[in-house]
Structure 1
Amino acid sequence: MTTKVLVIGGGQNVEHEVSLASAAAVAAALRMSDHVVTCVTIDRDGIWRTDGGPSAATPAESIARALPLLADADVVFPAVHGALGEDGALAALCALAGVRVVGSGLRAGAIGMDKWATKLVADAVGLRTAKGRVVAADEIGDVEFDSPVVVKPVSSGSSHGVALVRTEADLLPALRAAARLDQRILVEEVVRGREIDVAVLRESGGIRWAAPPLEIHTAGPFDTATKYDGTARFTVPAALSSDEQAGLRRSALAMFDALGCAGLARMDFFLTADGPVLNEVNTMPGLTAASQAPRMFAAAGVSYPDLIARMVRGAGRG
């Protein structure tokens, strides 16, 4: 049976280009099987643009013109990372329209995007996170330096605005950089450990399972530049003991369930001598074939086109 899928890419945030790449890859994979694919791109200014469609003057007008595409779709695939996409905004629109959507709903997307709220959920289910505090953007001048810390926006992706601060002189510039992306800034202790990612997929029948973990190898912090300049190296499956793998899998599934995630989500951990420490959650991670989550499922024997098709089959109503 043919399934009509509306793929949405782009977005109004710093992950715009990454989202374009994910959307293009998803659309190409779906066109390889029994899917009829229509694409919409959200420009940086919020204008929704369809291939060959008339231009609109405002975001509201462009959304109105795109609504017939939404209504005609069997499933919407919102391959938009970051704010006004991954944070549940598009899932909420689909829920209001009564259209099935790939991935997590509004609540899981919103909480997963908020790194501070994610910590609270993790603590409630017994998962360790780095100790930290939230600072308002207008109070960054009052933050004191007492040891190396990690500074990051509370709600942003692809490590934009994230900095490892080793000296007092670097603290205020790092806080200012994070404040340009969010009015709330997270200041965390530095966790030393191996960087391990675990991807979880919820299938159409409701069964969810974790792919083999992936380890990230870098010479320094896994920051925005390192993520996309090709210098990072990935090992999948990661070289782990059976106990380490089991602990990471339990932690990833526990967080997936606690947030109420659907579709595909990636949980990022530091593996320390005392066990896993949750770093953050991605409810719509990078989705090119070379991205971390598809690499993990490839290691489990699930090809990229098959993974994307499974995500479409598992789509729910937000």
Structure 2
Amino acid sequence: MKKNIAIIMGGYSSEYQISLKSGNVVYDTLDRNKYNAYRIHIFKDKWVYVNNVGEEFPIDKNDFSTTVNSEKIAFDCVFNAIHGSPGEDGFMQGYFNLLNISHTSCSMYQAALSFNKRDFLATLKPYGIKMAENYYLNLGDPIDEEAIIKKVGLPCFVKANKAGSSFGISKVYKKEDLKAAIENSFKEDNEIIIEEFLDGVEVSVGVISYRGKTTVLPITEIVSENDFFDYQAKYEGQSQEITPARISEDYTNKVKTEAKKIYDILGMTGFSRSEFIFKNDEPYLLEMNTIPGLTRESILPQQAAAAGISLKDLFDNSIEEALKN
């Protein structure tokens, strides 16, 4: 009997358009011989099932079901394709756990932790994971430019603490540009992180649970045409994403070991994609995404393809792992 799969997409953050693209790729790819796929749009003002002709049917939040032509539809598993809140920060994970509905993402705690860059890095630091020097600010804190520059140097990156797809991020070269960058980041979040600039090869490492085993996918080298790997570089073709990365066997082994170590330390399940930059021949962790992009241009699907895993197999495995767990 076919399983009913709800593909949740959209969300409450600036990333909702990317999420809709990811969710529709999942919808188009799932094996219809095994699954009945349903597109579920999650927005602040509505949660709805959207059928193939664009009709919307409300989701009953009491049990995450919908009713179509007097027939109630419940779901065997949720495929989470929401980047940002509430799909990547633990809220949807906690909701589905309470309802005892299987879902493809990690658990509530891991999602919330990894989404908060400051807490994520602080948790991993005692395990010897290398990372950039950083400085934290909350909205309303006094801004001591001298102290910031003394700690992280120039140039530096100013980032929204809880945001993705490079929203709310700036590269700052001069002291006089620091305040404007901080204000830009505060538009996305009330917490920000300011990091030293690491000058080295940037790579992205996907780690997934595949057929019951933690699997590190082929590494992607990021070569941005812009000043850094910003939104345009990620989604508008202004970068080269080279898989497998043009790095030595030593670099490959080091960064794969670190990425798997992080996945295991946190007790991760589902997808993850961690970003690193090499400094002094060592990989330095930048961040980890637990709902990485799943469009055909996205990095994780590229890595899966390099490993001989088709999109259909990647998504099917994710659902099977979720149902098993």
Q: TM-score range by the shorter chain?
A: over 0.9
1:95 alignment partner AA: N
Q: What is residue 80 of structure 1 aligned with on the other side?
A: 82
Alpha-carbon separation, structure 1, partners of 2:99 and 2:231: 35
Q: How does 1:211-222 map to 2 (within 5 A)?
A: 211-219=217-225, 220-222=227-229
Q: Do the aligned partners of residues 151 and 140 (structure 1) sit closer, same or farther apart at CA in structure 2, a change above 3 Å counting?
A: farther
2:135 alignment partner AA: R
Q: How does 1:165-314 map to 2 (within 5 A)?
A: 165-205=172-212, 207-219=213-225, 220-314=227-321
Query: Unmatched 5+ residue regions in structure 1?
Result: 56-61
Q: What is residue 67 of structure 1 aligned with on the other side?
A: 64
Q: Do the aligned partners of residues 287 and 140 (structure 1) sit closer, same or farther apart at CA in structure 2, a change above 3 Å counting?
A: farther
- 1:159 alignment partner, one of 145, 151, 166: 166
Q: What is residue 48 of structure 1 aligned with on the other side?
A: 47
Q: Give the superposition deviation at 1:305.
A: 1.1
Q: What is residue 27 of structure 2 aligned with on the other side?
A: 27
Q: Give the superposition deviation at 1:141.
A: 3.5
1:160 alignment partner AA: F
1:53 alignment partner AA: E
* Counterpart check, 1:92 vs 2:114: no
Alpha-carbon separation, structure 2, partners of 1:48 and 1:65: 12
Query: What SS does the corresponding residue of 1:12 show, helix, strand or coil?
Result: coil
Q: What is residue 121 of structure 2 aligned with on the other side?
A: 119
Confirm or deny: 8 A CA contact 1:12 1:46 kept in the other structure.
no
Structure 2 length normalisation: TM-score?
Answer: 0.90
Q: Deviations over 1:265-314 (max 9, x none)?
A: 00111022331000100001001122100100100100111111111111
Q: Give the superposition deviation at 1:164.
A: 0.6
Confirm or deny: 8 A CA contact 1:4 1:36 kept in the other structure.
yes
Q: For structure 1, which segment, 292-301 or 138-147, has the greater mean C-alpha deviation from structure 2 after superposition?
A: 138-147
Alpha-carbon separation, structure 1, partners of 2:35 and 2:63: 19
Alpha-carbon separation, structure 1, partners of 2:17 and 2:189: 19
1:67 alignment partner AA: F
Instruction: Give structure 1 regions of 4+ aligned residues with deviation exceeding 4 angstroms.
Output: none
Confirm or deny: 8 A CA contact 2:63 2:99 kept in the other structure.
no
Alpha-carbon separation, structure 1, partners of 2:33 and 2:283: 38
Confirm or deny: 8 A CA contact 2:31 2:312 kept in the other structure.
no
Confirm or deny: 8 A CA contact 1:95 1:317 kept in the other structure.
no
Q: Do the aligned partners of residues 187 and 75 (structure 1) sit closer, same or farther apart at CA in structure 2, a change above 3 Å counting?
A: same
Q: Deviations over 1:140-185 (max 9, x none)?
A: 5434353321100111000101111001121111000111111111
Confirm or deny: 8 A CA contact 2:209 2:270 kept in the other structure.
yes
Q: Give the superposition deviation at 1:3.
A: 2.1
By relative contact order (CA 8 Å, sep 6+), the higher-ranking structure is: 1
Q: Give the superposition deviation at 1:81.
A: 0.5
Q: CA RMSD in A?
A: 1.9
How many percent identity over aligned positions?
28
2:207 alignment partner AA: V
Q: Give the superposition deviation at 1:31.
A: 4.1
Alpha-carbon separation, structure 1, partners of 2:218 and 2:131: 22
More strand by share: 2
Q: Do the aligned partners of residues 317 and 63 (structure 1) sit closer, same or farther apart at CA in structure 2, a change above 3 Å counting?
A: farther
Q: Give the superposition deviation at 1:187.
A: 0.9
Structure 1 length normalisation: TM-score?
Answer: 0.92
Confirm or deny: 8 A CA contact 1:47 1:63 kept in the other structure.
no
Q: For structure 1, which segment, 3-12 or 142-151, has the greater mean C-alpha deviation from structure 2 after superposition?
A: 142-151
Alpha-carbon separation, structure 2, partners of 1:3 and 1:290: 28
Q: Do the aligned partners of residues 116 and 54 (structure 1) sit closer, same or farther apart at CA in structure 2, a change above 3 Å counting?
A: same
Q: Do the aligned partners of residues 28 and 65 (structure 1) sit closer, same or farther apart at CA in structure 2, a change above 3 Å counting?
A: farther
Confirm or deny: 8 A CA contact 1:136 1:183 kept in the other structure.
yes
Alpha-carbon separation, structure 2, partners of 1:40 and 1:66: 14
2:27 alignment partner AA: A
Q: Do the aligned partners of residues 88 and 215 (structure 1) sit closer, same or farther apart at CA in structure 2, a change above 3 Å counting?
A: same
Q: Give the superposition deviation at 1:66.
A: 7.2
